[in-house]
A and B are shown apart, each in its own frame.
Chain A
């Protein structure tokens, strides 16, 4: 990891025809450095010591990894300090800590993904995917646990709710967000109104999701009475969260469309709005689409705003303008927090993890989709 040891100075001019072999001589530039085998050696040593240490107080992979990491970081930094001096010792310590931080950050990611897969897969079946929780009571779950029969009840209604609410919030946010971005880039000319909108879009980005939910509830409470809970309220709440993301990504994409293309269209006698609609937006569309997809991926997993706006339903409801509606996130939340059968929670937990797997697959597909859109439909850079 040192800058100097990795350079490519010839160590030993190999025997060339007609020249006597040169005696092996240590390169002057690598004097005072740890030999190459030092770090792997320390690593092996710390693995052994870590294993030994972790067996003292009940072996587990976690303590083994922690002990090994600590011993390795301390030992390698100390040895580097002793051999190469304090400055290089500090450098080695920093390097190892940075690597350790990255590995540490991977632990929760790996753990979450592993848990969701391990606990979610057993619950995924066609019954789960295509049935709602309608008619599933504590007694149903008790029976399935006591008799060992398959767990009944599924997340069909929640999938429908998630898709409908997300669809409606996209229908609200995408036009509003795109038009706002168009205003900012094409019409606003950085005037006071444009700067004001940019500022408040930034503010909106920071609104906590539960506050967005409360806003939508409060709005519909004033309009329709205090118990108005239905899909469209949730869609409005999600729009508050989605609009700033759409504005931001569209704005960025419109800004990188070269001005030359706009001028070329104007010079052909094309009106400004047609230039925007037919030249600027098509040029930026892949970036905009990928930004919108990411925005959808972000709101599809939102839970808090749904809790306070759409209520909870056990049955299929395809009408966003009436009655309560379930979504995958709220389904997960309620299955965990208030299991269908308080005495036998396992079926509820299983349904929750299966729904979590479903949700994570949706989010990942949207994320990958966004990347694909961005790379596949990007305009050819052949200029």
Chain B
């Protein structure tokens, strides 16, 4: 249940402004890939092009190809809704639906799409997804309470449970721990390690130790200056990026000389 992503010659625009230029990258199935780089280098923008969330922003558009196991996401006739149900996303700030209970939050992807699901299937899906997100033991007694009553870290794991309940091929995570305390962060990092057994995971992070801890491969993005487009500088095994990078800028960044 996971697919690989190949990006070919991708340019990302906001209206006429080129935000990310000429990215080529291959992301393996069942692996964790981290995107690192200084603020504003376009790593989050690029991440959002991988499930067509970028075009939700007015003026957002791309040129180039993103292939999910060889199928181009941007081919005409492809419905972004189909793309997003196969490539899920977890956001920077936990955003459970405030009007729904914990259980309904997990089932949101199913219920909002009006898919019929029997009560027993629903209960099974809720338990499986919450277990998958390491949250089951903490919330099993209060599934009908609102999701907004949980702590920040629990809310974020609820959002992950919500995402895996849709059974995607790939999970994109946009700085999932930046709003969390260290203990919650640790819980999410453990979870990411487990998720890669089933899913392809791509994570954007500001925290280089986190990238080193969780990812198999790391991509370093950089920007030449304000107003210039962001670029993929180097993409390699995580160990290589952090111990023996091939590019000077990467070395400067990972050793803390800028960024």
Contact = CB atoms under 8 A, between A and B. Distances in A.
A271 interface: yes
Contacts of B86: 269
Residue picked from A267, A274, A278, A382, most chain B C-beta under 10 Å: A267
Given A283-B98, A380-B146, A382-B148, A263 B91 contact: yes
Nearest to A262: B56
Interface residues of B, number: 34
Residue picked from B53, B95, B148, B166, most chain A C-beta under 10 Å: B95
A167 B17 CA distance: 51
B85 A269 contact: yes
B99 A283 contact: yes
Contact of A267 (B51, B98, B111, B149): B51
A48 B114 CA distance: 76
A258 B91 CA distance: 13
Nearest to A380: B148
A274 B95 contact: no
Contact of A383 (B81, B114, B148, B163): B148
Given A261-B97, A278-B112, A267 B89 contact: yes
Contacts of A264: 91, 95, 97, 159, 162
Nearest to A257: B98
A283 B146 CA distance: 13
A275 B114 CA distance: 11
A155 B155 CA distance: 56
B88 interface: yes
Contacts of B149: 380, 382
B160 to A, nearest CB: 12
A83 to B, nearest CB: 57
Nearest to A259: B56
Contacts of B206: none
Contact of B166 (A268, A275, A380): A268
B84 interface: yes
B88 A268 contact: yes
A226 to B, nearest CB: 49
Contact of A270 (B56, B81, B93, B98): B81
Interface string B148-166: 1100000100010011001
Given A263-B53, A380-B149, A382-B146, A274 B114 contact: yes
B100 to A, nearest CB: 8
Nearest to A278: B112
Contacts of A380: 98, 146, 148-149
Interface in A245-277: 258, 260-271, 274-275
Interface string B88-112: 1101011101110000000011011
Contacts of B109: 268-270
Given A379-B98, A382-B148, A267 B112 contact: no
A63 to B, nearest CB: 57
Nearest to A279: B97
A267 B81 contact: no
A265 to B, nearest CB: 6
B58 interface: yes
Interface of B: 51, 53, 56, 58, 80-86, 88-89, 91, 93-95, 97-99, 108-109, 111-114, 146, 148-149, 155, 159, 162-163, 166
5 contacts: A264-B159, A267-B91, A268-B112, A279-B97, A382-B146
Closest 3 CB pairs of A and B: A269-B85, A267-B89, A268-B109
